[in-house]
């Protein structure tokens, strides 16, 4: 029976992953800031077959709550087999360019809060000497693009942090997987003009994440075509790239 901690548990991708694990009888500790939605998701997982579901209401940027969250999680689960870090926001790039406070808040939402949580949770996994830490980053972190470089820079930092953490935790018997989704049809992307051919459902992405964890993938592009797309984008010479409106 898997014991799963999900931070950002009300996100569409995270809940789709949880539903797959619930059908296998997993036990959950769900963390999110929306208590009403958290309760609804917990009930859904119980109905699908989850052995037990505990919840903890917390905004991930509230570092003062991190230790209490981990303590309650360990009390509920005893051990964490799978950690999925899935919280984040999609910033308004134009506002970030003119509002320093907003830019820094969005960087906190998408980067420093993730690093703070992973640093704390790594200690628990070191004690266990087993388990998987899976972190949702983004293809946006592979190269800074004009249209979303605040978000991209936050995700780039998360991806680099996870790469170093992976090397550290490997020696402790713990696996770290970096997840890099492309365009996903979620509430966070509503209203954006995204190419339909590349737009995937949360359920599709969740299935690849669950499989990726089972196969102990280091970096998971989902869908896989994004590995090719980002290879091409990274290969564009700087003098050309800065002239593009990507």
Please identify every residue annotated as catalytic. 151
Distance CA 144, CA 150 (A): 8
The answer to whether 170 and 133 have CB atoms below 8 angstroms apart is no
The 8-class DSSP code of residue 164 comes to: H
DSSP 205-244: HHHHHHHHHHTT-SEEEESTHHHHHHHHHHHS-HHHHTTS
Distance CA 185, CA 188 (A): 8
- Please provide the size of the chain in residues: 246
Peptide bond into 223 cis (omega under 30): yes
The 8-class DSSP code of residue 200 comes to: B
Distance from the Cα of residue 48 to its chain's centroid: 23
């Amino acid at each position: 029976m898997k014991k799963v901690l999900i931070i950002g548990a009300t996100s569409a991708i995270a809940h789709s992953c949880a539903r797959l694990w619930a059908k296998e009888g997993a036990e959950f500790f769900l963390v999110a800031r929306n208590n009403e939605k958290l309760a609804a998701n917990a009930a859904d997982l119980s109905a699908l077959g989850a052995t037990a579901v505990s919840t903890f209401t917390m905004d991930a940027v509230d570092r003062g709550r991190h230790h209490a969250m981990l303590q309650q999680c360990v009390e509920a689960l005893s051990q964490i087999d799978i950690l999925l870090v899935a919280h984040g926001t999609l910033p308004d790039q134009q506002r970030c360019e003119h509002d320093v406070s907003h830019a820094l808040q969005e960087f906190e939402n998408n980067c420093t809060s993730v690093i703070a949580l992973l640093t704390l949770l790594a200690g628990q996994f070191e004690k266990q000497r087993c388990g998987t830490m899976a972190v949702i980053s983004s293809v946006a972190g592979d190269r800074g693009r004009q249209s979303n470089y605040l978000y991209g820079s936050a995700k780039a930092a998360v991806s680099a942090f996870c790469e170093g953490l992976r090397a550290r935790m490997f020696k402790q018997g713990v696996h770290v997987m970096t997840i890099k989704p492309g365009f996903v049809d979620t509430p966070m992307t509503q209203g954006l003009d995204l190419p339909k051919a590349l737009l995937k459902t949360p359920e599709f992405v969740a299935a690849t994440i669950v499989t990726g964890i089972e196969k102990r993938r280091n970096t998971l592009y989902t869908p896989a075509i994004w590995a090719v797309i980002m290879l091409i984008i990274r290969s564009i010479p700087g003098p050309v790239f800065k002239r593009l409106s990507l």
